[in-house]
Amino acid sequence: MSGLAKRLLVGVLTPLAKLAATVGESGRRVWAHARLRASITGLVDPSVVIMGVAEVRGAGRVEVGKNLFLYPGLYLETQEPGRIVIGDDVVMSRGVHIVAFQEIVIGAGTLIGEYASLRDANHRFGEDQAIRRSGHDAAPIRIGRNVWIARGVMVLPGVTIGDGAVIGANAVVTRDVAPGAVVVGIPARPL
């Protein structure tokens, strides 16, 4: 193909490609919204923006607020009597994992960075017992309002994070965080 023919063809196809991308993106968001609604026990408000299909496992006991922004790769799992409650105006970035055997509550306005993990249960283990079949010990996680959980953070069972707190990137939160505190590190400690 000559250079001129290629330029003409690209000139004709570019507007069509832009139109297809726009229509395709809208269709993907609507599909992701419908899939989330079909996978959980709660309702999904039309104001919720879902950038990719969320993976929902277990019982699907998930309640979501309004005006959420959910990036691709979101993983939500509820086991046994566990449930996940997500407040209004929450943003969850790419690859966030939330697993509840008891309860995880995320307050309104909270931002959760890429690949963060909130898990309210740990495996039991001991001699002469296969970890896989040993069961779990669970304790609820409570995240306050307007909390910023940065990229790669791990929040462990039984933790409460107060309103307006900031959790630095890659921190492991093993104990409660006071309202307005900034914590970093492994284990997470106040700055």
Q: What is the pLDDT of residues 144-186, one digit of tens each?
A: 999 999 999 999 999 999 999 999 999 999 999 999 999 999 9
pTM above 0.75, yes or no: yes
What does the angle CA 166 – CA 64 – CA 92 come to, to the nearest 5 degrees? 40
Instruction: Please choose, from the candidates 124, 122, 121, the residue with its C-alpha nearest in 3D space to the C-alpha of residue 101.
Output: 121
The predicted structure's pLDDT at residue 131: 80
Query: What are the residue boundaries of the structural domains of the chain, listed by start?
Result: 3-190
State in words which class domain 3-190 has: mainly beta
Q: What is the pLDDT of residues 41-85, one digit of tens each?
A: 989 999 999 998 999 999 999 999 999 999 999 999 999 899 999
- Is the pLDDT at 14 greater than 70? The verdict is yes
Instruction: Please choose, from the candidates 187, 96, 89, the residue with its C-alpha nearest in 3D space to the C-alpha of residue 176.
Output: 187
Q: Are 173 and 187 in contact (CB under 8 A)?
A: yes
- 10 Å Cβ neighbour count for 80? 14
Confidence class for position 9, pLDDT limits 50, 70, 90: confident
The predicted structure's pLDDT at residue 21: 65
Which contacts (CB < 8 Å, 24+ apart) does range 127-136 have? 136/79, 136/80, 136/101
Catalytic residues: 123
